[in-house]
Amino acid sequence: MRRCAVNDPEIVDYELYELADSTRFFPTYQAAPLTSKNALTRTPEIESVINLLAGKINHTRMRELNAAVSLDGGPVHSGCTKVFVRIRPG
């Protein structure tokens, strides 16, 4: 038995089975983008780009992002680009 977070990339890598939480004991996964006021001051368009991601990063997608970095050994920006290209609007 192994305890994992719902977005842990090892779930797929180790072929683990994700149990349903029928009692809703654990909170649902909700991604929350973070940035600093300084970043928004320097680059205000960050806010609109971040807003495009609203509701598009669930625990499965976050697991993909984590795997691209921690399991595949790639740089963070490369892993993010692969996933975000698939979910961009339009």
Domain with 38, as residue range(s), is: 10-19+28-87
Handedness of CA 35, 37, 38, 39 (dihedral sign): positive
Give residue-wise pLDDT tens across range 21-78: 889 887 777 778 888 999 999 999 989 888 888 788 888 888 888 888 888 777 877 7
pTM above 0.85, yes or no: no
* Predicted local confidence at residue 83, as pLDDT: 67
Within-domain flag for 2: no
| Phi, psi at 87, each rounded to 5° | -110, 0
Per the domain annotation, does 5 fall within a domain?
A: no
Looking at the domain assignment, is residue 53 inside a domain?
yes
> Is residue 69, in this structure, part of any structural domain at all?
yes
Domain count for the chain: 1
Chain-centroid distance of CA 32 in Å reads: 9
44 lies in some domain:
yes
For the record, the structure tokens of 27 come out as: 């909170």
